[in-house]
Chains A and B, each alone.
Chain A
Amino acid sequence: DQQVKQNSPSLSVQEGRISILNCDYTNSMFDYFLWYKKYPAEGPTFLISISSIKDKNEDGRFTVFLNKSAKHLSLHIVPSQPGDSAVYFCAASGSNNAGNMLTFGGGTRLMVKP
């Protein structure tokens, strides 16, 4: 099932710089998108979401951009901090799903170097 793809398995960024994590989807019925952060031995932690009626949502250092025509979303973290080092998952759901099922990407491991 490749409906949600994160093509970069890992990303290394210097502290203070911008981190850009990318996600592509194929299912045009998806209309709600989320980013989660995951540390080892913990569950995914919700970071930020965006619905398809918007193209940008911002929360502190985190901004999510949605390009519906390209079926692409990205998460920008600025400035990046060493504590941001984790695996980041994008996830998507469609309002046509009665059960609000989330479809996850495979994750990108972000390493922020001091």
Chain B
Amino acid sequence: DIQMTQSPSSLSASVGDRVTITCRASQGISNYLAWFQQKPGKAPKSLIYAASILQSGVPSKFSGSGSGTDFTLTISSLQPEEFATYYCQQYKSYPYTFGQGTKLEIK
């Protein structure tokens, strides 16, 4: 299985900050990477697929980049509703695997 490792596991930030979350794959996955946002008690929401393509309706303050083994999710000008847990997932090969999650908390 391809292992996905996110860093950091948790992150404290303030409203208005710009933050970056990193996701590393244990082997190359080209750009077969998705990012999800999950709020407590809710289903995950798809943000980005193919490493950098925003899902319909997702604001451009979210951006993704990377290819191969190293990927990033950047959120600019954090708003209160964006404090959540973020997951990356590879879909290059089965079984699809997720990172362990990054919990973004208000400082």
Same complex for A and B? Answer: no
Point out residues on A near B: beta carbons under 8 Å: none
Point out residues on B near A: beta carbons under 8 Å: none
